[in-house]
Amino acid sequence: METRTLDSPPSILPLYARAAAPLVPGASRLPFVPGGGGEIPDTELVLDGVRPDTNAVAAYAKVCGFSLRDTLPPTYPHVLAFPLHMAVMADGSFPFGAVGLVHVENRIAQHRPIGLGEELRLVVRPTPLQPHKRGQTFGLFTEARVDGEAVWQSTSTMLHRGKPQNPADGPKSRLGVDKSAHRPPGAGLIASAEWRLGGDLGRRYASVSGDRNPIHMHSLTAKPLGFPGAIAHGMWTKARCLAALEGRLPDAFAAEVRFRKPIRLPGRVELLSDAGPEEIHFAVRDAKRHTPHLDGAVTPLEPKRRSMTASNENSGRNSK
């Protein structure tokens, strides 16, 4: 595996230009443009010295519905790592462009809350292609480390649409009926909240996350890419669910979601969840038509203790 250590976070806008370049006929033949086909490159990107900006965290928490605390929202390390995700997919060795990929699943494992003052080392690497009934999938594995210890991990599963392939031998998700959930997604869940989503939600989330994929920004930019209008970010939907469940989340947990039908903006959706004592199942459905948008589960993990240094740095810091 080739490991590249970066001096600073990559700039997002140039990466988007390179990621979208394969949409231009013939552009993928250029060596610095992704889209030449083949396998996922065996590379790893590392960024040291990452300290979250408190104002940026507060803005993100407001858009996603999290309360303000002295620890990061559990989905925020994904935002910190997003420039590295784009750098991986915008590299000339990547087999296809990022624009047009579909985020189909996401799993986060928070081993302990991350303090606002803690310095992170971010590691991002792609996983090999796997067969899928709608083409092929690959993962973007991300790890956040503090003093050498992994405190947060995630895998975003991305679909490259194409010729159907037999997924029988690929890895199985815990969601649905294929593993330990033991029931169809959404079965037995009770509606617990309803959200009205404005047409500007995609732009608001983009401003706090850096994810400015055209399919989320406006109907004028989504339609050329095959969508009837702008759609909500999948990671906003997951974050909004975890924010609504915030009081029930343990310090250490895994949260896995499967993204279903896109949420068109503007829209009105409802959150459903169960009242289980440990594992929490939840779902997002269209409030009127009950179209499935997301299915998820939260599972407790064995917590890791925060280092004494980090604890001392954050002692005395008040929740806002």
For the entire predicted model, the pTM comes to 0.87
- Average pLDDT for the chain: 88
List, for the chain, all residue ranges whose pLDDT scores fall below the cut of 50.
176-182, 308-320
Q: Could you give the CA distance from residue 218 to residue 220 in angstroms, rounded to a whole number?
A: 5
In this structure, which CATH number among 3.10.129.10, 3.30.70.360, 3.90.1150.10, 3.40.50.300 belongs to the domain 2-314?
3.10.129.10
Q: Above pLDDT 90, what percent of the chain?
A: 69
pLDDT for residue 28: 66
pLDDT for residue 248: 93
pLDDT for residue 30: 73
Q: What residue segments make up the domains of the chain, in order of their start?
A: 2-314
pLDDT for residue 19: 77
